[in-house]
Chain A
């Protein structure tokens, strides 16, 4: 048997027995790890189950074997390609999704998402569930619609009633309970109205150039090579999003990946809080074992041998905690579907997936060990002469020693930071470079937060101590309670940091959410339009302008701009390649609306070049300053365009800066209207009006122009607010785990100081203190700890949320004191509950029992 084998066995023995003597304290440590690992495995387990469901149900989710989504109607070439495929037995059906207005007499028209299908073919896979139950092909005719429940509620309708769509009456034949491809659809911003293709034609909603999402669903016979079909369609529809049953839907998958990355990192924060708890508990534990360690050193134990004991303890605690965490994760997986039920009605099955489980155990173990390294390194500094004779004066460590010790700690810190970065990076599904970036940002954020929290904790504890020493007038139980906090061995700083992280994070999420919504609904800047008009035909443009101008309550506008959908082919002869552009700039490779203007808009400034003369030839365009920057355009550059089948050649005359509160400000290029003559021009309008007058205008508008979509910003805001709320609930649900971990650490620390507390209680009782007095002292301690943690978390949340809102989201910051008051109070109460949970038995201690035990 080798020395190391033997020592491992002995080390395990000692580790086990020591752990047994610290059951309560270590139970809390296990729980702290379990909470963090649970959040992580829950998020990742759910994500994987969701992903597997996306793959498994891929056909149902697109209602076809393959789907092509485009924002243009199919060109003759594209139709020809689909006809060729049909000859190979590949059937297809065409779906159009758009937003429009639905109306009934006496009610304000409401925004709906219209979906036109061919019920004899759609859906190829899955079923559209209707109430009363009926096949879609019988329920849906040229004159009927199937609508979602919320439309009935909003317009106070029932099945069999009529609604108007584009001014045409339709009978509501059924309620749509479920449609298979809802998740992969587009423009789902209002209640669903499902119509037939004929019905859509009859309603007259589609005008050439209007922005609707067109989907072509294909059913591919098993014998046909899917890849080949896909390649053919990709060449025919270069701008379209193509999905087939062999993979999860790319758009949903991307969203899922991003959400998973984000929530995984949030969970990692809980895990880090848990790991701080493990580190703190092991440090406290080592403090109590100084004698044993010194004795072992006297008996010839090397530091590395002694470290084994505590490494074993940490590993076992982390493993048990992680194992328990997997169960917590299952709970999280169970809850998650409810949090997103509104948007994803399909529930992935609850299964114990070994991949996230193994990942959770691995990361739980690694993170716990990382945070235990610094206290373990401290073992090297425990000198054996500590036990030999206490009066033997400890000589001050030499310079060399101090540097050597410091070096170890510094290396441990670097390893910790790098390892956490790697863990964070590995939790993203991004390519390596991006993962490194995210990992670095995450670690940077965590380190800054922890350092900031530690600094604030340090300061607050000092202040508290100072105050306490001067507060002679306050009742002594308060002074005793406060004194308990900064007593040695109480690890108040670690508790404050751990609990503070949780409070800070959850609060930041909440404040950002509120700030975002408040910012969106705020009426500033004055004159910002609050009603938008979509899909206005050229022939309607002037009458609509007249109608709007005649409305009461118009504060600004109305503004109506004509656009044409155009795509850049090349700039100065160089084709615009997607690969050469990054992120949002890639939009220039797609067909996008460009403006058609007669003259320079009044609210624009020419920053380069000059606006074209009315007598100039028609090939002039002006680029927005943003487009010019991204595409490196300057006056004189030539741009070739495709508009439908037509090719146009233009010259950049100027670069303009347009006030962004105008609709025109959203356009990248302004064309001379004369050049776009004969092309399908679609108008978009905006107006700022007194909110109470909007409904009346909507009714009038609908009466005269039923195909025009009127978007009331207030309604859209409600939808956005709904989405933001929903996302925020998920994030807060996961970030609450960090608070829970922090609270558990507090309980762990209180349990760890049990012996000291028992002694104290006994002495106090012996000296005549009543139970209630002792209870008050403890409560003061816990309440102040929690309150201070809440205060720290609030301070930093205030700073972080201001940073996020101001810098990242460019939103205004609102200071709402009540949020912080609630956070501090809740944190204090939570800490008090946790503290008592870990120590209530102490109160009943009989003095004699405890004294006799000594």
Chain B
């Protein structure tokens, strides 16, 4: 009855458009995108600045609403959901890794990791999992530190741990190594791929970096709001 795990589309985008109307003219950012991402796949989205890749990621995360078209996450239509409903979907289904880490400055590393779990109303074992994840990213000894006391690389590793805390089926990453030097970038990337494999997460990564994209199962390239190529690596 149900499609198999690998063929089941975790993300299904149909005829997706996004345009912005200003007082004088109308800018089309995305022009009717169609694609599916099966569960467990690692997709890199590439393209030059202004190609619409960040807008796409934002729409996938429900941070903005599309002008038309549909986005289904794990079979659930998210276009047109109200703000709070969308927040709930994010809390359950989406993990985030940002370019600029975006940890809450007033919470410790461990509390930051725990936050999505708490927001989703987790039932008490979260702390243990948070510590496990901090161990995985090699920062258990910094659990009580505040973001300002951590280096950029460390902050991003905390952000990674945070992204996985609720075992989201989808992980969205926006230039996760963009603010890091190459050594730290490599550590974060390795962790990201490793954890993605381990948790069997569907990973969508937006990047400029061809080297980073080369680790993906599939690369979708955007230009002027169109998909110009969609290549699967064997």
Contact = CB atoms under 8 A, between A and B. Distances in A.
A299 B58 contact: no
Interface in B62-79: 63-64
Contacts of A385: 58, 63-64
Contacts of A2: 121
B214 interface: no
Contact of A303 (B63, B84, B106): B84
A273 to B, nearest CB: 30
B90 A300 contact: yes
A383 B120 contact: no
A3 interface: yes
A298 B107 CA distance: 16
B107 A14 contact: yes
B92 A6 contact: no
Nearest to A18: B106
Residue among B63, B90, B96, B121 having the largest count of chain A Cβ atoms under 10 Å = B63
Interface in A218-262: none
Given A302-B87, A384-B63, A292 B121 contact: no
A303 B64 CA distance: 16
A388 interface: yes
A700 interface: no
B91 A299 contact: yes
B157 interface: no
B104 A292 contact: yes
Contact of A10 (B89, B94, B98, B115): B115
Contacts of A304: 84
A300 B174 contact: no
A392 B118 CA distance: 29
Contact of A383 (B64, B94, B104): B64
Contact of B174 (A13, A21, A380, A389): A389
B29 to A, nearest CB: 8
A297 B58 contact: no
B124 A388 contact: no
A387 interface: yes
Nearest to A303: B84
Contacts, number: 111
B9 interface: no
B162 A299 contact: yes
Contact of A13 (B29, B90, B111): B111
Given A387-B102, A392-B58, A392-B64, A296 B174 contact: no
A388 B58 contact: yes
B55 interface: yes
A389 B106 contact: no
Interface string A378-414: 0010011101110111011000000000000000000
Given A303-B83, A385-B64, A392-B54, A296 B107 contact: no
A1 B121 CA distance: 8
A93 interface: no
A320 B27 CA distance: 52
A724 interface: no
Contacts of A389: 54, 58, 99, 174
* Majority secondary structure, A binding face: helix
Given A7-B121, A299-B96, A301-B91, A388 B54 contact: yes
A2 B174 CA distance: 32
Nearest to A301: B119
Interface in B20-38: 20-21, 27, 29
B105 interface: yes
A712 interface: no
Contact of A1 (B98, B104, B124): B124
B130 interface: no
B102 A10 contact: no
Interface string B116-142: 101111111000000000000000000
Given A299-B90, A299-B115, A391 B102 contact: no
A387 B98 contact: yes
Contacts of A300: 87-92, 94, 116, 119-120, 166
A11 to B, nearest CB: 9
B166 to A, nearest CB: 8
Task: Bin chain A's interface residue count.
Answer: 35 or more
Contact of B102 (A298, A380, A395, A396): A298
B102 A14 contact: no
B54 to A, nearest CB: 5
A299 B119 CA distance: 8
A770 to B, nearest CB: 33
Residue among B54, B119, B124 having the largest count of chain A Cβ atoms under 10 Å = B119
Given A291-B102, A300-B120, A395 B63 contact: no
Nearest to A385: B63
Contact of A395 (B20, B84, B123): B20
B61 interface: yes
B120 A3 contact: yes
A302 B88 contact: yes
Contacts of A296: 104, 115, 119
B57 interface: yes
A295 B112 CA distance: 11
B121 to A, nearest CB: 3
Nearest to B94: A300
A388 B118 contact: no
A626 B96 CA distance: 81
Contact of B123 (A1, A10, A305, A391): A1
A632 interface: no
A388 B115 CA distance: 18
A285 to B, nearest CB: 12
Contact of B20 (A380, A384, A388, A393): A393
Contacts of B27: 393
B73 to A, nearest CB: 13
Contacts of B92: 300
B132 to A, nearest CB: 19
Contacts of B122: 6
Contacts of A387: 98, 102
A17 interface: yes
A21 B106 contact: yes
Nearest to B120: A300
A388 B53 CA distance: 12
14 contacts: A3-B121, A6-B122, A7-B118, A13-B111, A292-B105, A296-B115, A298-B96, A300-B166, A302-B84, A385-B58, A389-B54, A392-B64, A393-B20, A396-B21
Given A6-B118, A296-B104, 4 more contacts: A17-B107, A296-B115, A301-B119, A389-B99
Q: Kindly list the 7 A-B residue pairs having the minimum CB-CB distance in the complex, ordered from nearest.
A: A300-B91, A3-B121, A385-B63, A17-B106, A300-B90, A299-B116, A302-B84
